[in-house]
Amino acid sequence: MKLKHISRQLLKNYIFIMIIIITLGLTTFFLNLTYTNSKINNSIFDIDSFLYDYNNGFDYALSKQNLEKKDFLIVFDYDYEVIDVYNYKLNKGDQLDYSEYNSFYDNEDPYSYYEFESDDGEYIFLLYLAPVTTNMIFVILIISIAIITFIIFTLFLAKKTGKNIIRPLELISQGVKEISNGNYNHIIQFETSNELDDIRDDINHMSLQLKHEIERRKQLENERNQLILSLSHDIKTPLTNVIGYSQMLLNQSIEDENIKQSLEIINKYGLTAAALTDELFDFTKLNMDYQHMLTERLDIVEVIRLKLIEYVNEFETLHINYQFNLPSTPIYTQLNRMKFYRVLDNLLQNSINYNHKSFDITVDVQSIDDQIRITIEDTGIGIPQTYHQTIFNPMVRVESSRNRNLGGTGLGLSIAKQIMINHNGDITIDSTYTDGCRFVLILPIKN
């Protein structure tokens, strides 16, 4: 089985950690074993041969044995007088103190002391074989070094893994976020020798493709908009002729009722087509110019107040109850006054056109946090819930029977939406309101 790079890297890590753990375990085990065995002295001392050689002198007899540095040997007689001594603080002829003698056996390590007599029973030999004590500090030191080595290598591995896997993954995630936010120029940059390089290349390639695709779409959209603009412009001239000539004929006294009716139909549809062409032109232009709309800093309360004043007479004539809740202090925003008036006109005209007499219109303006919230609501027939999702799309009109004679184009609300978006704001329909229609307009405050 051929392992990929990341798997190989992880496998390497696992093996390395396993080796360190095993080494650490074995070290501890052997050190522990050494310490347990340390009670055993490694000196080689053969009592029989020593006694035999002692007849030829103490030093000679000693030289045949193999005592270690801390061992000692005292030869004394039954009066505790020291005859010979090796490696102990007493000298020949000294008296071995009885309590000192006893202290050897009170020691924690009685088995390290051996006492034997000479063949003739004249001397006593006291042999001390020092236990080889392992230094605990040394053991702790070794274990500490092992642990530190383990930590250092683990950190090293973590860093290496981080460099080869985690950091690239972070860069990939960051890059994907950038791309999903529309920054198609973002290029993910890192260098590993594993599969993440392939992912990096794929994502960079995808982002480049998306960029090209979006540019292509923009270009197509632009071409389509240009086509609509020139078409609506070109249609305008023949339509003006149709409307003008039909009107001219209608202005004359026509006796034939059929011809008169036909002329009226031609004139009416000519006007509808002209209105549609105008709105289509405006909608397309708004779509194209959304970044270049001219605005000025204006008090929105004053702008709305002026527009509402224009409507007061009409409301009263039509017996429409109106209520305007405008704040007494100014609220500023960047506005294209004429375009915004178009939104207000569309909403107010719709209320007037689509509702029967004697209903209420309420306009409310508030500032909430850093936004201006304008609600325009009526207590008319409302727009059915099923249309709420699509009502701002171009050419959407509520079932034609009720609109048949009103001459709308179905573009008014989509133009309003585009204008609000061009102001970095929005317009929505409040689906929780069921007494008629409530439109909510949002604009950013510009202090």
Contact set with ligand ADP (CB under 6 A): 346, 350-351, 354-355, 378, 380-383, 391, 397-398, 403, 408-413, 437
Q: Smallest gap, in angstroms, from Cβ of residue 287 to ligand ADP?
A: 15
Give CA angle at 182 (181, 185), nearest 5°: 120
Q: Sheet holding 72-77: strands in order across?
A: 82-86, 72-77, 123-128, 113-117
Residue type present at position 43: S
For ligand ADP, give the closer residue by CB, 82 or 320: 320
* Cβ atoms of residues 74 and 96 within 8 Å: yes
Q: Smallest gap, in angstroms, from Cβ of residue 255 to ligand ADP?
A: 36
Q: Smallest gap, in angstroms, from Cβ of residue 209 to ligand ADP?
A: 37
Instruction: Give the dihedral of Cα atoms 209, 214, 220, 221; nearest 10 deg.
Output: 170
For ligand ADP, give the closer residue by CB, 270 or 412: 412
Q: Smallest gap, in angstroms, from Cβ of residue 275 to ligand ADP?
A: 9
Q: Smallest gap, in angstroms, from Cβ of residue 397 to ligand ADP?
A: 4
How many other CB atoms are there within 10 angstroms of residue 418's CB atom? Answer: 24
User: Which 8-state DSSP code applies to residue 308?
Assistant: H
For ligand ADP, give the closer residue by CB, 333 or 409: 409
Residue 366 CA to residue 373 CA, distance in Å, equals: 5
225: alpha, beta or left? (left if phi > 0; alpha if psi -120 to 50): alpha
Q: Copy the structure tokens of residue 7.
A: 């798997």
For ligand ADP, give the closer residue by CB, 270 or 382: 382
* Cβ atoms of residues 130 and 112 within 8 Å: yes
For ligand ADP, give the closer residue by CB, 302 or 310: 310
For ligand ADP, give the closer residue by CB, 154 or 375: 375
Q: Smallest gap, in angstroms, from Cβ of residue 385 to ligand ADP?
A: 13
